[in-house]
Amino acid sequence: MFNCDAKTLGAPVRFAGVGLHSGAACEVELRPAHSGGLRFLHRGRTLPVHISQASAPGGSTLLGGQLDTPEHLLAALVGLGITELEIAVTGPEIPGLDGSARDWVQGLGELVCVGSTAGLEVSEPVEIEGFGGIARAWPGDRLELAVEVDFGPACRGRFELVMSPERFHEELCWARTFLPHRMLGAVHAAGRGRGAKPGSVVVLGERGPLVPVRSADECVRHKALDLLGDLALFGAPVRGRFELVRGTHALHQALVREVLGV
C-alpha cells in the first residue's frame, strides 16, 4: 500500500455523443466527489469501478452487466490521476467521441486535490496466459506499461511508457481504437460498431492503415490506452510494471484478478 493525492474535478462537466458499438445517443455528466473512489450511476444503479463489476463479453469492458465501453474514459481518469468522481450516464454505453481519450482529457477542466487516498502495489511477479495473449505484472515504485501487438504487416510493434499525467497527455491519450478490415463484417453482424464514424476508428488493411493515422504506432499505443483504462478496475491507484502481449480486455481483467487474488 502507498498514499497519494486524491483528486477530483473542479466543476461538473458534460459530454454527449453516440456509443461506439450501440450507435445510440449517450450522455455523461462527471461530478466532483470528495471520497468514494470512481463510480458510475447508470439505470438506477451505482456501479463502483472495480473488477468485481467487470466482464468482457463483446470485446470491450462491461460494468455491472449493463454499461458498455467505459475504458477510454477510465484511461483519461487514471492517466490524469483522478481518483474521486461520480459519473452519471444516460444511454447504454459511454460516448465514443473520437475513439481515443483525447476529447475527455481536453474537456475535464481544472483538477483539485481533496486529501489523500490509499493505492495498491503489485507485491510479487505474476504471469498468466489466455484469451490469445500473455499478461505479466511485476512490483515497482511507479506505474509502467509495456504492450506488444502483432497483426501481421498491418500492425505490429511494441510501446512502453512510464506513466505521468504529462506523458499520458503527450504520448497516449490521442491514440484511437482500431479494427482490421477483415473483421468488419463479423463485428457488424454481431451488432457492434454501429456508432463508428470516419476518423474515430483506424481501419487496418492487409498492409497497413486505410485511413490517416496520428502516428505510425497509433494502434499499439491504443492497446496501451485500453490497458490503462482497465487498470482502473483495481479500484485504487496502482503501482507496478504491466506487460501485455496480444492483450484483450478479457486478458486485462484476468490479470487484475490474479494480482488481487480474487
Of 21, 72, 222, 249, which one is the catalytic site residue?
A: 249
Tell me the C-alpha distance between 122 and 130, whole Å: 20
The pairing of strands 67-68 and 13-18 is unpaired
Report the first-to-last Cα separation within the chain, whole angstroms: 17
Cα within 13 Å of Cα(254), Cβ side: 17
Dihedral angle computed from the Cα positions of residues 247, 185, 102 and 140, in that order, rounded to the nearest 10 degrees: 0
**CB 139 within 8 Å of CB 120:** no
DSSP per-residue letters across 74-115: HHHHHHHT---EEEEEESSB-B-TTSSSHHHHHHS--EEEEE
Q: Which helix (H) or strand (E) holds 221?
A: helix 218-231
Tell me, yes or no, if 42 is annotated catalytic: no
Amino acid symbol at 80: L
Tell me the C-alpha distance between 233 and 75, whole Å: 11
Cα within 13 Å of Cα(212), Cβ side: 3
Would you name the residues annotated as active-site residues? Answer: 249
